[in-house]
């Protein structure tokens, strides 16, 4: 991930997620696979605030918790499985 994307994500966390610190928050990071050595991810910022992080991608790899076979029809994700608290989709 480019440094500028990480900077913008930091602003997103401060501006939009800060009110949810201390709440039960599920964050689904779509397209989460880390590519290349030393690639940054959003995981540490999410987990560091006590929230649940789930990395989703169509390919296996580093930072992927759930691989889906079709990028447009996520049969592997159960309905309402991320319904606790506020949902943020990245």
pTM of the model: 0.77
For residue range 80-90, list pLDDT tens digits in order: 776 544 455 55
Number of domains in the chain: 1
Q: Map the chain to HEC letters.
A: CCHHHHHHHHHHHHHHHHHHCCCCEEEEEECCCCCCCCCCCCHHHHHCCCCEEEEEECCCCCCCCEECCCCCCCCCCCCCCCCCEEEEEC
Task: Give residue 30's pLDDT.
Answer: 87
- The residue range of the domain holding 23 is 3-89
């Amino acid at each position: 991930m480019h440094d500028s994307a990480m900077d913008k994500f930091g602003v997103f966390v401060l501006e939009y997620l800060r009110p949810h610190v201390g709440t039960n928050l599920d964050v689904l990071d779509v397209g989460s696979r880390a590519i290349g050595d030393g690639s940054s991810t959003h995981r540490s910022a999410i987990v560091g605030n006590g929230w649940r992080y789930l990395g989703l991608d169509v390919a296996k790899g580093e930072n992927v918790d759930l691989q889906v076979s079709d990028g447009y029809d996520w049969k592997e994700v159960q309905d309402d499985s991320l319904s606790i608290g506020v949902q943020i989709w990245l």
